[in-house]
Structure 1
Amino acid sequence: MELVANQQVQDMIEDTTNLVQKSSSKFIEANTVEVSLNHLKQDCIIPVFAKDNETTLSHFEFIDATKEIAESAFNGAFITPSIRVSHQIKGRIPSAIGKPVKELLEHEKTTYYERMAFMMEIPNRQMVVNNQILNLSIGGVRAYNQENLFSKKSIEKFKVFIGYKNTVCTNLCIATDGLNSEIRVSSIQELQEAVKNLIYNYNQESHIEKLERLSNYYLDEKQFAHLIGKMRMYHYLSKIEKQGKFPLQLTDSQIGSVVKDYFTDDNFKRTDNQISLWNVYNLFTEANKSSYIDSNLERNVNTHEFIQNIANSIENSIPNWYLATL
């Protein structure tokens, strides 16, 4: 697989006045806050396995190990991670037991975060899709709530992705082969090997082709309304009724956000009572930002596969439960 560096992004399109790019760091929202890599290294304690006091692989080690592999894989590029955390776990040192909270000194407080997500944009690895700049990005998720910290030390779970970030809205575009959500390792070396395998097995060209074709298909307002209605219905079907239908992971409230943005989003709303599948996809990924860290990546991939399923049905005139009669 060859990853192509693009130094002149604007040369890829005929009319540069229509090029849309906007910078923002919020690739995920929910209840997260932004922190620095140094904060994770210097200020946060490291959880341990309770029965043997063996340390877990820390958030800092995870990010730093991924950063090292990414910089090596992409010709020594200097990469800066954007990090967001949630579910802060607070504590205090033994000498501060019984001390009122308002009297606690900074050195008497301890903290770590149950869930962490990070993303790193690869410098000079950009593509233009549907007149919008996408930056090649790599990142990962660690959620201690998915570990059994009350046992002895065992293999630990990590999630790593490689895909694109839309610079218009910081929406992540991740395909199936760009996510490994079941990395289970016991050392940094094993983690780095898994990250390396993901990078080199990712089919960049196929992913871009699938994203580009979405602008070729449109839904009118009636078709979009039918799609949304069936999406809302899906979660209430019985297990038997769900069989044969494409599984959908967006929640009902997120589907509601998609409807709102259909009318109001500055970049992806309807035009002349119709909307492209590219815009629908970005409304989906925008809504997915409200997912908690530990479910965000899987839902992101699900939206990609869902919209590709819709595109395949339209392209090949295949009946689809989510679509009105073609």
Structure 2
Amino acid sequence: MEYTDNTAVMELHNVQRNSQLNLETVNIQDAEVFYPSRMNEIKEVEPRSVQPLLVSDTINTPPFTTDSTYVHKPFIEANTLQVDLNHLKGDCIIPVFSKDNEKTIAHQEFIDIVMNTALKLFPHHNISNPEIRVSHQIKARTPDAIYKSAKDLLDHEKTIYYERMAFIIQIPSIVDTINGNELALTLGGVRSYNLENLYNKKTFEKFKFFIGFQNKVCCNLCVSSEGFVEEMRVGNYHELQEKVIHVIQNYNTQSHLEVMKSLSHSHLTELQFAQLIGRSRLYQHLPKKEKLAIPSLNFNDSQLNTVAKDYYEDESFCRNEDGDINLWNVYNLFTQANKSSYIDTFLDRNLNAFEFTKGIQKALNGNSKYLWFLN
């Protein structure tokens, strides 16, 4: 195991992988929808044989205590609602693929797979309860309430599920500090049924998964390309678990932390920041041909307004007295603004914020296509 100041390389062991499972052999009950009472009959995913990850002690692993230093904020806001795992398991139906009546992998099953994997890979660390945010509630009713008006429906006659769901699981005993901000290792994912064709037969299902860090000061997520899969296509539970393990295995904590720490050593003047915001607004309206020659920036005008406003007003990441701002703070202004994104674009924009800030850092040295945003 290699050690560096305040960081560590996780020593990862090979996972015993089974041969690829045939989707047709998976035993899935036939039902138009799965009601909570039937959900309990579904067999749990059998634990996979995995070796724990060894995390160096040079990443701080303090004894677990209830931390009242930080005010908890949602990791995503927009139009989302916070729910708990019991609500998903007990109150929500599970949509199916309509042409063959095969059930989808439910939101709660995705969360359980990631949680169980985290418990096995980090057996000597504290694992937080999942923080779950949902949106786009889909409502229906039971057949016996077909003739009732909406106001007369009883609770047991209503059915719901959520089209979009995002969650994070924090490992608060694995932390590091950047520019005075404490970061905790965090895993999470997104499931959006709007990205599936539920009107067809069952096919590969799509998930987003990441491992990265959460800034405990503002609860912003820090996501890198090594720790994020934009479209994880799986046919069953075991494939999903194996791919989650694979992402964790290939995530390099040391590399990610070093890049983020380097951002605090680069600065923009007030004039450069103003140029950056102005160019970012122009970028949205560039002709397509010109836009293709410039690295992408996926933030909209409303989010750029938030970045500009927080440059002056944010308590943790605003400019200094001279008007300068370091790129670590710029990065967090963008990830803070990203909290207004819908669930299905949230992680993609978070990664874009990281790549964009790294590009601006290179542009300050005069060797990046991102120079367009500063000139």
Aligned to 1:45: 93
Matched, 1:153 2:207: no
Aligned to 1:7: 61
Which residue of 54, 59, 62 corresponds with 2:107? 59
Matched, 1:71 2:119: yes
Q: Which amino acid aligns with 1:321?
A: W
Which residue of 233, 239, 259 corresponds with 1:210? 259
Matched, 1:135 2:189: no
Matched, 1:32 2:80: yes
Aligned to 1:323: 374
Larger RCO (CA within 8 A; separation ≥ 6): 1
1:36 & 1:151 partners in 2: Cα distance? 30
Q: Which amino acid aligns with 1:323?
A: L
| TM-score, reference length from structure 2 | 0.81
Unaligned runs of at least 5 residues, structure 1: 10-19
1:279 & 1:153 partners in 2: Cα distance? 44
Matched, 1:298 2:352: no
Which structure features the higher share of helix residues? Answer: 1
Aligned to 1:230: 279
- 73-82 or 215-224, larger mean C-alpha shift: 73-82
Matches within 5 A, 1:279-298: 279-298=329-348
Kindly report the root-mean-square deviation, in angstroms, between the aligned alpha carbons of the 2 structures.
Answer: 1.6
Matches within 5 A, 1:84-103: 84-103=133-152
Q: Which amino acid aligns with 1:53?
A: N
1:188 & 1:62 partners in 2: Cα distance? 8
Unaligned runs of at least 5 residues, structure 2: 1-8, 11-54
Aligned to 2:34: none
1:167 & 1:196 partners in 2: Cα distance? 25
2:315 & 2:259 partners in 1: Cα distance? 24
2:82 & 2:292 partners in 1: Cα distance? 40
Give the fraction of aligned pairs with identical amino acids, expressed as a percent: 51
Aligned to 2:171: 122
User: Cα distance, 1:156 vs. partner?
Assistant: 0.3
Aligned to 1:16: none
User: Cα distance, 1:92 vs. partner?
Assistant: 0.5
Q: Which amino acid aligns with 2:354?
A: H
For the Cα contact (< 8 Å) 2:359–2:368, is it kept in 1? no
Q: Which amino acid aligns with 1:36?
A: D
Aligned residues between the structures:
314
User: Cα distance, 1:76 vs. partner?
Assistant: 5.4
For the Cα contact (< 8 Å) 1:21–1:133, is it kept in 2? no
Q: Which amino acid aligns with 1:279?
A: N
2:73 & 2:195 partners in 1: Cα distance? 26
Structure 1 runs (4+) greater than 3 angstroms displaced: 76-79, 315-319
1:74 & 1:271 partners in 2: Cα distance? 39
